[in-house]
Amino acid sequence: MKILLIGINAKYSHQNLALHYIKQYSKVNTKVLEFNINQNIETIYGEILKEEADVIGFSSYIWNIEFIQRLSSDLKMANPNVKIIWGGPEVSFDTKELLEDNPAVDIIIRGEGEETSKELFNGLTTEMDLSKTYGISYRDGDKIFINPERELIKNLDDIPSPFFDMEIQKGKLLYYEMSRGCPFKCAYCLSSTIKGVRYFSEERIKSDLLKIMEFDVDTVKLVDRTFNSNEAFSIRIMEFIKEHAPEGMCFHMELMAHMISDEFLEFLKDMPVGLFQFEIGIQSTNPDTLREIYRITNLERLAHSVKTIRSYNNIHQHVDLIAGLPYEDYDSFKESFNYAYNLGAEKLQLGFLKLLRGSRLRIDADKLGLKYSKFPTYDIISTDWLTPLELRQLKMIEDVVEKFSNEDYFKWTLEFLIDEENPFEFFESFATFWEKHNYHMKSHSRESLYKIFTEYLEDRTDFEAVVEILRLDYLLNQNALPKAYLNPQGIDLKSYHDLLKDEKIREGFKISMDIPTKKLVNEFKFEGFGFGGQRAVFGFYYTKEGTIRLDITEDYERITNGIY
């Protein structure tokens, strides 16, 4: 019997960890094929069809379920004898309804899949009675059966590591888990449906990590719901990663910032730059909202942790908010936004509530006044506190924040423009301009974003001062001469050569005098600026690690006998 396991990932760079666990645990002849939702569905269908499998299993999530529904139907039409199996978080609830609505599907695996898949695959091979397999829902003729739940695997080390038999392509994002479950019960999250937290042993984790560190990947994303739920464990693992990780590899993890102790903060101070990224969920600052979604947060402590880590300049942080939660109206969300933005994290991600199958918020949606799309990804449409148009306005703000704040291309300009008391007001105004000119309907290059920002600023009385800062941001982020709309103060090419020949300037940029000037010209830009009545000249050196900026005003005057 040939068993095919199919992953339809959200992006090319992603890989499906769950299917590789199942392949290793089941110990039967299975083959894993991975695609992504940006590929042509007919191409994917053809690749699956040519395998001529007896059993096809799909790993189902909110982002791929509609793909999977169509593929399942077409594959069943092509071969009525093939067994179609679904598993994954999107299909672990409401399975009777799912089987009724999708006649091509024979079996659904609910919840944790390793033990159930192993038993099911062996049962299909021997034509065993499916009624004895816990953790599945299935059809037999015109009838649908919902078998009892399966107990969770007690010892996660019983699951063989998938990393010793996985082909990891260069540039892929690698997912890894050290634990399953979450100590919290957030009402919007499926982790709340699983009791307790189970850990792989530290010996197993360290073995996996050493293998992972052999792969040529840039980012390892931990899928643990709360990495620091056991702080002592977290510190030991991070210390191990610090000792063994190759240069350039980054580990991304989700933490509860209000739980970070002073000792942990002190420990984080010495972490290498870029080794870790933290994702920190805030979701809301409204106490009624937090109470309704069962989220416990000490906002004062959370702010202390994020700001302290930010001061170290060694760990990238990104904080999350969710729009559309119960009791959060427009003004309340504005307060949540201002709190989150003023933490100073590198990114602020504005998410919108998705009513996931099995979550308490979906179960209680009518009672709570939450209206949501009946189609994946089940996005919130309106609440008793937010109208559809208010949610749309927040999506415009999210678009502007993502393009102009999160990418760091406008760091100094935003710092100059934004009032700490009300950053929301700035982005709200910008979003109105953004929509008025239909910029939300188009794709944009980085160059076009600088031009749009300049257009937005044109009516300001301090426009000339602001455009100086915007030009500085421009030069810090791309190796190109500023366009006319940025009022460039160009330095002539002869001056470039004279400046790059200067020993003091080379010393400032840490460049050997042995390197010929002609090899450096294309890696440098020199530009004049005016700040508060003062004139300055900066040099910008573009390296693989980033842009190095140096104030060379005095050197410029010395070398060229004057200012620009």
Our CA dihedral for 278, 283, 288, 290, rounded to 10 degrees, sits at -40
- Integer Cα distance of 513 and 218 in angstroms: 34
Task: Please indicate, yes or no, if residue 421 is contained in any of the structural domains.
Answer: no
Q: What are phi and psi of 351, to 5 degrees?
A: -100, 165
Query: Angle at the Cα of 220 (from 347 to 224), degrees rounded to 5?
Result: 80
Average pLDDT of the chain, as a whole number = 95
- pLDDT bracket for residue 142 (50, 70, 90): very high
pLDDT at 172: 82
- For 419-442, the pLDDT digits (tens) are 888 999 999 999 999 999 999 999
Shared domain check, 518 and 376: no
| CATH number of the domain to which 122 belongs | 3.40.50.280
Per the rule left: phi > 0, alpha: psi between -120 and 50, beta: everything else, 361 is alpha
- Integer Cα distance of 161 and 364 in angstroms: 38
Three-class secondary structure of residue 550 per DSSP: strand
Q: How many other C-beta atoms are found inside a 10 Å radius of the C-beta of residue 497?
A: 13
Q: Can the peptide bond before residue 297 be classed as cis, meaning omega within 30 degrees of 0?
A: no
pLDDT at 88 over 60: yes
The residue out of 351, 386, 421 marking a domain boundary is 386
Shared domain check, 242 and 127: no
- Alpha helices by DSSP H, 148-187: none
pTM: 0.94
pLDDT at 564 over 70: no
Query: Angle at the Cα of 255 (from 35 to 309), degrees rounded to 5?
Result: 120
Shared domain check, 500 and 369: no
- pLDDT bracket for residue 170 (50, 70, 90): confident
Shared domain check, 94 and 60: yes
| CATH number of the domain to which 353 belongs | 3.80.30.20
Handedness of CA 420, 443, 479, 250 (dihedral sign): positive
Task: Please indicate, yes or no, if residue 184 is contained in any of the structural domains.
Answer: yes
Per the rule left: phi > 0, alpha: psi between -120 and 50, beta: everything else, 202 is alpha
pLDDT at 493 over 80: no
């257009």: which residue's tokens?
455
- Alpha helices by DSSP H, 50-145: 65-78, 95-101, 114-126
The residue out of 84, 115, 146 marking a domain boundary is 146
Three-class secondary structure of residue 16 per DSSP: coil
Shared domain check, 35 and 183: no
pLDDT at 112 over 80: yes
């080794």: which residue's tokens?
275
pLDDT at 148: 98
Shared domain check, 227 and 102: no
pLDDT at 51 over 80: yes
Domain encompassing residue 520: 489-560
pLDDT at 512: 95
Task: Please indicate, yes or no, if residue 556 is contained in any of the structural domains.
Answer: yes
pLDDT at 441: 97
Task: Please indicate, yes or no, if residue 77 is contained in any of the structural domains.
Answer: yes
Largest CA distance in the chain: 92
Which of 347, 284, 287 is closest to 319 using CA atoms? 347
- Integer Cα distance of 535 and 553 in angstroms: 8
Task: Please indicate, yes or no, if residue 45 is contained in any of the structural domains.
Answer: yes
For residue 389, give the H/E element and its range: helix 388-404
- Integer Cα distance of 169 and 351 in angstroms: 30
Shared domain check, 103 and 50: yes
The residue out of 386, 412, 428 marking a domain boundary is 386
Shared domain check, 352 and 263: yes
Shared domain check, 248 and 295: yes
Shared domain check, 339 and 208: yes
- For 387-425, the pLDDT digits (tens) are 999 999 999 999 999 999 999 999 999 999 998 889 999
Mean pLDDT of 497-523: 94
Number of domains in the chain: 3
Rg of the chain's alpha carbons, rounded to an integer? 27
Shared domain check, 170 and 141: no
Which of 280, 296, 175 is closest to 228 using CA atoms? 280
Estimate to the nearest angstrom the gap between the alpha carbon of 552 and the chain centroid: 39
Q: Do 482 and 488 contact (CB within 8 A), yes or no?
A: yes
pLDDT at 503: 95
Shared domain check, 263 and 203: yes
Q: How many other C-beta atoms are found inside a 10 Å radius of the C-beta of residue 425?
A: 14
pLDDT at 126 over 90: no
Task: Please indicate, yes or no, if residue 465 is contained in any of the structural domains.
Answer: no
- For 270-307, the pLDDT digits (tens) are 999 999 999 999 999 999 999 999 998 999 999 999 99
Task: Please indicate, yes or no, if residue 382 is contained in any of the structural domains.
Answer: yes
Task: Please indicate, yes or no, if residue 454 is contained in any of the structural domains.
Answer: no
